[in-house]
Structure formats: structure tokens, C-alpha cells
Structure 1
């Protein structure tokens, strides 16, 4: 009689055979590789189990659900995002935004999991939360204003990059063909700026592109965005002349 496969064992290649048990690190690494290579559409516990040559129940032995597996993946992707706390608060925020974007650029298919899925909250990075709160406190934010500024930082950090690395549609060629026809449909009397800039914006600007940041990085726009964000926080801290 063939030996039964336990929760932590892979399926053997022959009757009575089994390979060494899995590990959580191996499962998470394989899941991230599957997302990187096949995209989110192909990511499922069943497909991951096929990749690992095990039964899905073996994966659930190490993680209670797909959602917590996603949290583990996000934890790995963002492992080195938190900057050195010795930086001043402005430079710390600039570094945080930049390091987050660099981490996502290595695994662009993960971006939608973080930006549009609350399950990412299961990947609680206490160092990130404390670092952001400490630097915003250093800047001068207190109490409710500190919480509001913290939420703005997390939203700002995730927002631009999630949009830049948005998931590609299955019919990219059709989208490209449709967008390339935009300049011919513009009435310059109604949209003069767009008529002038559309040829330069096509393929490289939000709303008018058919590739994401993996193929068409938006470096200049990102730099402008970060500086605008930091400058905005500085302005929020400045005293209101009418109240002085």
C-alpha cells in the first residue's frame, strides 16, 4: 500500500515515496516567483501546489488562507523599505517613497495586492509604522494631526506606485491601438493643451498609456510627486498668518 502523504509532505514520484517537508519560506518564495512570472491572474493556491508538487492542504499547513499567504509575500517584497532613522524627516520620507517604489519595481505584479486589497494590512510592519510616526512627530505633527499625516504618508507612498505599476489588461494591443487614435479625435479649440502635448504624452502619461512602469518608468513624474508631497507637509506645518 502506498504511504499516505501528510500535510507537510510533497507528493512522491512513485508509490510510497515522498520528498522532504516544505517550509513557509519555500512556499512564499515560490508564490512570489509564480506571481512574477505568470501574473496575478495565474496565482492561486492550487496552481502554487502544482508548482511545488504538493497538495493544497500542504500549503494550508503553513498558512491558514490565501490572504495570509499574500500578507507573507508582501512582507518579503517590502522587507528593506524602511530608511535609516538618522535621516531628517524630509529626507526620510523621500527615501521611504523611493525605496518602496524600487521594491515594487522588482515585483510589479504585486503592486495591486498592496494598493487595492486590504489584506495587505495583515502584513503589519511595526518598524514602518513607528518610523513614519516618529519622523512626523519630529516634523511637528501632534495628536490627530499626526495620525492624519501618517495616513497621508502611507496613501502617498502606495498611491503613485500602485498606479504606475497597474495591472496590464489582457488585450494590450487593442488598448494601444485605441489610444494612438486619440490625437486625431482632439478638438484643439476645446482642448488646446492636450492637442499640443498628446503626441508626447501617449504611452508615457497616466490615462494615455498602454504599458505600466515595468516597461515605461515614470521617473520624472515620481520625483515631482515626492517633492510636492514633502512640500505640502511642510506647508501644513507652517503657521497660518491669520492666526498669528
Structure 2
């Protein structure tokens, strides 16, 4: 029996989900914020994004996220683009490429071509890809390839570190509802789990105002207000 779990679940049920999420995900402004090669792709002359929107990695302002998953999902906001292909690269601490994949972008129809899309890519558990190791940092990079004949494009990048869950915390998560898990993940600052779980809830219940408020607050907490206002969860890619 875990009294803490019961108490937490009772408290959770009384408060809207949005009120249980932090106003600020990180407690201080990280150094180097806004430098090139970060979570937002810099606009390029003659590029494949014509609007003032940007390719954006959905990560905290520092560019670093924590996860408890051995095969996490990585998310980004994709603005309207004429690009045909996206490349994803995951590197270990020594800059060795451990996973590389490319996929062609589907043409947007006339009803969605003026909006951003949020897309997630889940690391596959096959093809010899080892799980992320606890305590180690990994670097990931997403490149929007504007010209198939060239290797250059618009890119974003970030880091991710896997942490090990305390057994009691792992049990709490296992016994919790999806909404309760969002709260637990956020309290532990497990960004990828918080975002992934809320993403799935929002996508399954697009007209739920409370989930919409929670989604916006979570993105606001990492200063992604523009993404929160203009973008709805779209799809995930499983290799």
C-alpha cells in the first residue's frame, strides 16, 4: 500500500490539470539561449519556409530534456514548408551516430497548409538500436532538407539524458491514470514523458478545453507560446 499515491491521486482529482503544471519548467535562464544551432531553425534566404514561422524542437529553453524511457519520442513543430524530406540523427556523448533516419514529407492539403504541425519520432526497438543508457547524454538533430540535390537545410538540435526512476516512483506511475502521470512526470521534470503523454491525450480528445489549457501551459512553461497558440498535435512516426 502506498498512502502517498492515494493522497496524490485524491489531490489530483480536485485540481484541473493545467493548474498542476509548472509556470516555468526551468528555474533559471540558461546561458547561450538563442544561439544558432539551437531548438529553433534560423530563417534562411531562399529557404523552404516562406512564413515567419520556424522549425522548432519541442524541448526546454536550455535545449536539454530528461527522460526515463529507453526509447523516447522526440517532437518538433513543422511550419508550412515546400521541403520534401526530413533527416533525424541521434549521437552519443562522443558524437558517434547511433541512429539516422530520413522520411519524405507528405503534401499538406489546402485545409492545413497554413498551420504548423507537431510531429514526433519514436526510437525503434529493433534494427540493432540499443536502448538509451541511464546517466548519459545524447545529442539529436533534425534537418529540414529544402533541396534534395543538396545536403544543407534548416536544422534544430537538442540534448536528452536518460535518468533512472526510483522503484516507488515507477510504481506510482504504473498505477496512475494518464492525467495523473502528466502531473507526476512534470513534478519530476521528465520532459519527454510529460510532453508525450499530454500529446496523446490532446490528440485523442481535441475538443477537451482542460487538455487544451494544459497543453498551452506546458509549452508556455518553456517559452514556446507561439507554438502553443498555433499548433495542434498531429502525428507520431514509429520506424
TM-score over 0.5 (shorter chain): no
TM-score (norm 1): 0.26
- Length-normalised TM-score, structure 2: 0.27
Structure number with the bigger relative contact order (C-alpha 8 A, sep ≥ 6) is 2
Higher radius of gyration, 1 or 2: 1
Higher helix content, 1 or 2: 1
